[in-house]
Amino acid sequence: MRADARENRARVLVVARELFAERGLEVPMAAIARRAGVGVATLYRRFPTKETLVMEAFAEQFAVCQGVMDDALKDPDPWRGLRTVIEKVCLLQACDRGFTAAFMASFPDLHSEARDRTWLGFVALVQRAKDSGHLRADFSPHDLTLVLVANGGLSSLPAEVAVASSRRLVAYLLESFRTGTDVLPPPVPLSLDLVLG
Amino acid sequence: MRADARENRARVLVVARELFAERGLEVPMAAIARRAGVGVATLYRRFPTKETLVMEAFAEQFAVCQGVMDDALKDPDPWRGLRTVIEKVCLLQACDRGFTAAFMASFPDLHSEARDRTWLGFVALVQRAKDSGHLRADFSPHDLTLVLVANGGLSSLPAEVAVASSRRLVAYLLESFRTGTDVLPPPVPLSLDLVLG
DNA sequence: CCTCAAGCGGACGGGGGTCTCCACTTAGCA
DNA sequence: TGCTAAGTGGAGACCCCCGTCCGCTTGAGG
C-alpha cells in the first residue's frame, strides 16, 4: 500500500471515531470523507461498506470491553469485579454515542464461541458475587443486558451530561444490586439479539 | 366533513397509533396510508405534516400522563404518589415504542406554563416524600428525567420484553430511591430539552 | 336522477442517504 | 526524468423519505 494511501486510511479512521462518538452512527459517509479531506470514493475503497468502517473504528473499544470483562473475572473480589464491569462499560457507552449502536450491531457477528465463553464467565462471576454475600440473591446475569440497554438510552444526551447521568444511574443501580432485600419482578432472559427484532 | 372522510380520518389515527407503537415514529407516512387503505394525499389533507399526525395520535396518552401526575400530586402518601408516577409513565414508555420520541419532540411545544406548573408540582411532591422519610434525601427531581431517558432506552426491545424489562428496571431504581444510604454522584440538572441538542 | 364540491389516490418534485464509475493525478522505481 | 499502477475525487445511479399536484370518483342535497 502506498504511503499516502496508508496515511489517508489512518486519518479516515480517526475522523470516523470522532464523528461516531459525537453524533452517532447516522453520520453520513460524505461528512466523514469531507472532514478527513478525502473523497467518498477513497473512503469506500478502503472500507467497502459503512458497516466495515464502523466495525474497524470500534474494534479497539470492543477489545477494551473484552479486557474489562477478563480483568473482572480475574479479580479475587467478585463483587468489585462485577461493579467494575458495569461501571466501565457504562462509561464507554456514555462517552461514545456510536458505541452502543456499534456494539449491538456487531453482536450477531462476534464469533459466537468467544461470546458464549465471556457470557459463561460472567454468569460464574455473578454466582461468586452472590456467594460472597455482596450481591443480592435474585440478581440475574440478564440484568447486565438490562443495565446496558437502559444506560444506552442516555447516549441521546449531550456528551458531558450523558457521562454524569450515566454515573448517577449506575450508582443507583449498583446500590440496589448490593443491598436488595425486597422482592423484584422476575428477571427477563434478555439477550442483545432481541434489540434487533 | 363528509361521512366517508370522517371514517377515513378515524381509521388513519387508529392505524397510526398501532404502527407508531410497534415500530416507532420512523414508520413512513406511506406505510400508514397503505395499512389504512387510503392514499398518501388523503392522509396529508387531514394532517398537514407528519408531526401533526404524531401529536394527534399521542394526544390521548399525553392527557393520561398529565392525569397520572395530577393524581400523584393529590395522593396523601407522597412516596406512593412518586412511585406511581414513575411506574405508570415508564409502563407507557415500554408499551409504546413511539411514545418516548413523541413525548420528547412535543416537549418544547407544550404550553410552557402548564409544563412549569407540573414540574413545580413534582418538585413539591419530591420534597414531601423526603419529609415523610420514605425517599432518600439526596434524590433530585432531575432524577425523574434520568429514569425516563434510561427507561426510554428499553423501547428498542420487542414489546413484551420491553414491558418486563422496564418493570424490573423500575423496581431496582425505586428500591434504590427508597432505601438509599450511600453517597451518590451529584444529580444532573437534566432537562428533556437537552435530548434535542 | 343529476349535479358538483368534497374527497380521493397515484405520480411526481426535492432532499438526503449509500455506494459506483471513470477520467485525472501522483508516488515510487529504474 | 519517464513510466505505470496505485490512488484519487466528484458526478451520478439508485433508493427511501416527506410533502404536493392534478385529473378522476363519489356522497348527498335538490
Q: Give the CA B54 to C1' D13 distance in Å.
A: 34
The yes/no answer on whether domain B1-48 falls in CATH 1.10.340.30 is: no
When pLDDT is averaged across residues B54-73 and rounded to a whole number, the result is 95
Average pLDDT over chain A reads 91
- Would you state the pLDDT for residue B38? 98
Write the residue in A149, A168, A188 that is nearest to B156 by C-beta: A149
Chain B nearest CA to A48, separation (Å): 27
Compute the C-alpha angle B68/B126/B85, nearest 5°: 20
> Does residue A123 contact residue A189 with C-beta atoms inside 8 Å?
no
Put simply, whether A186 touches B (Cβ < 8 Å) is yes
Suggest the residue from B90, B145, B169, B191 to mutate for an interface test with chain A (most A CBs closer than 10 A). B169
Please state, in angstroms and rounded to a whole number, the distance separating the CA atoms of residues B28 and B32: 7
pLDDT at B195: 57
pLDDT over 70 percentage in chain B: 91
pLDDT for B189: 74
Residue among B175, B176, B162, B97 nearest A188 (CA): B162
Confidence of residue A184 (pLDDT cuts 50, 70, 90): low
**At A189, is the pLDDT very low, low, confident or very high (cuts 50, 70, 90)?**
confident
Evaluate whether B1-48 and B58-196 have a shared fold. no
Range in A74-83, B6-15, B45-54, B101-110 the model is least confident about: B101-110
Residue-averaged pLDDT of chain B: 91
Confidence bin at A19 (pLDDT 50/70/90): very high
The predicted structure's pLDDT at residue B43: 98
pLDDT at B186: 77
B192 pLDDT tier (thresholds 50, 70, 90): low
Which residue in B has a C-alpha nearest to residue A197's C-alpha?
Answer: B158
Q: Which residue of B has its CA nearest to A157?
A: B195
Q: Write the CA distances from B118 to A122, B82, B109, B152, integer angstroms.
A: 43, 13, 15, 20
Average pLDDT estimate for B149-177? 93
Residues of chain B positioned with their CB less than 8 A from the CB of A149: 153-154, 156-157, 165
Residues of B in contact with A153 (CB under 8 A): 149-154
Half-sphere exposure of B123 (CA within 13 A, CB side): 8
Amino acid A196: pLDDT: 47
Domain regions of chain A by residue span: 1-48, 58-196
* Chain B environment of A93 (Cβ under 8 Å): none
From the candidate CATH numbers 1.10.357, 1.20.1260, 3.30.70, 1.10.3470, the one assigned to the domain spanning B58-196: 1.10.357
For chain A, positions 76-115, list CB contacts with chain B under 8 A.
none
Q: Which residue in the set A146, A165, A171 is minimally distant from B168, CB to CB?
A: A146
| pLDDT score recorded for residue B101 | 94
Supply the pLDDT for residue A110.
Answer: 67
Q: What integer pLDDT is reported at residue A197 of this predicted model?
A: 43
Distance between alpha carbon B140 and the CA centroid of its chain, in Å?
19
Query: Does residue A171 have a pLDDT over 50?
Result: yes
Q: What is chain B's alpha carbon radius of gyration, rounded to the nearest angstrom? A: 19
- Looking at the complex, report in whole angstroms how far the Cα of residue A137 sits from the nearest Cα belonging to chain B: 13
